[in-house]
Amino acid sequence: MILFSDPYELRGGGQVCLEYMLQDMVTRGPQAFGLVMPPAGRNKISIPGRCQVFDSRDDYLRRAKDDDSVVVISNANRGFPRDLQFARRLRNSGRKVRTVAIVHNYPLDPVKSAATRASLSLYDTVIVDEPGLTKLSKRAIAPAWVAPVIHDAPPWTISESPVKFTGIIKSFGRPDPSKGLHYLPAAFRELSGRGLNCRVALGNSLEGNEKYTSGLTKSLAPWLEEGYRTQEWINPGDIFIVPSIGGETTCQAAQEALLRGAYLVATRIGVLPYMCPEGGGISVVPMKDSSAIVHAVITATELGGHEFDLSVRRSASQIIRRSGRYYDEIGSMFYRFVSEF
């Protein structure tokens, strides 16, 4: 059994990766695989019909008594300690167990960083989404950067019509301090004053800071669009802002925006500075600097039509080339671990 474990009840970047990993399992053959995740979390992702689902670790122990070997894949930093305890219980019941931790994000403070390092030292295998995360574990494996899985080229990339700036500035993120959305009001006031159409949408908080969420919602009210948004909200020629200040690694939202044909303005965090080739449609700015965001956006709007079109196409082609590589590499690892039993 290849058993994924994720404690979250909301959908974030790690859960997007989980969704892709489960889909990859289907393509690899008849190997049994399952997911331990609260029902509320499972409702936020697409789960293949072949995947066995369990509400909790105890639920798995009660129902899956015939599994004599298990690869436990822990998909969230928050779950690392409890999944180690779970693996210990499995071993005590006579099962063969291999533990795998997948690190999608940087811990947000020194205490969490130390705790994450301690947990990772006890896992058999550690996989990280990008090379910088190897500082959390010297044994960590860093496959190809995580990139969205796409099966067909986005229609706009094969169109001969040039991508033109729409006049719209967009941002989307969780209402958590690490996403840096509180730097947008100052930037949006300046950009709106210059006649640009600014819009922002909020996802679901993972950090649970209700006071911050309330204050952020009020400060963004003039530009806030109600309701959850998906990548289809972004149109070719939009400018998309990622103002993150912590935790970010490969930023699924940024890559999805590039695939949609947006020009990206992002803070210098994770792999964002290295995401696109020279001349690609991305401007990187210092963290916590609203003025730098404004300057980068204005500079992007002043690009010539041909240069704007070429830059967003270069960015999208880079993401397309990386599509699926990460999941292919780690999926092969999971199957190899099973065969080693």
pTM of the model: 0.86
Q: Is the dihedral of CA 267, 269, 270, 271 positive or negative?
A: positive
For 228-282, the DSSP string reads ---GGG--TT-EEEE---SS-SS-HHHHHHHHTT-EEEEES-TTGGGSS-TT-SE
Q: Write out the chain's pLDDT in tens, 341 residues.
A: 999 999 999 888 899 999 999 999 998 888 899 999 999 999 999 999 999 999 999 999 999 888 889 999 999 999 999 999 999 999 999 999 999 999 999 998 899 999 999 999 999 999 999 898 999 999 999 998 888 888 888 888 888 899 999 999 999 999 999 999 999 999 999 999 999 999 999 988 877 789 999 999 999 999 999 876 777 899 999 999 999 999 888 888 899 999 999 999 999 998 888 888 777 899 999 999 999 999 999 999 999 999 999 999 999 998 998 888 999 999 999 999 988 88
Q: What is residue 151's three-state secondary structure?
A: coil
Extract the tokens encoding 292: 């730098």
Nearest to 20 by CA among 256, 331, 259, 339: 331
Tokens of 43: 């409702």
* Phi, psi at 141, each rounded to 5°: -100, 130
Do 176 and 207 contact (CB within 8 A), yes or no? yes
Is residue 100 a contact partner of residue 75, using CB atoms and an 8 Å limit?
Answer: no
Helices (H) and strands (E) in the chain, counts: 11, 11
Please check whether the two domains, 2-147+324-340 and 155-322, share a CATH topology: yes
Give the Cα separation of 128 and 141 in Å (integer). Answer: 6
CA of residue 49 relative to chain centroid, distance: 24
Fold of 2-147+324-340: Rossmann fold (3.40.50)
Q: Are strands 263-267 and 239-242 parallel, antiparallel or unpaired?
A: parallel
d(CA 31, CA 338): 9
Sheet holding 263-267, edge to edge: 197-202, 168-173, 239-242, 263-267, 282-285
Q: What string of H, E and C letters represents the secondary structure of 24-39?
A: HHHHCCCCCEEEECCH
pLDDT (0 to 100) of residue 228: 66
Instruction: Map out the domains of the chain as residue ranges.
Output: 2-147+324-340, 155-322
Secondary structure of residue 97 in the 3-state scheme: strand
In CATH terms, the superfamily for domain 155-322 is Glycogen Phosphorylase B; (3.40.50.2000)
Over the range 186-219, which residues count as b (16 or more CB within 10 Å of their CB) and which as e? ebbebbeeeebebbbbbbebbeeeeebbeebeeb
Bridge partners of 98?
71
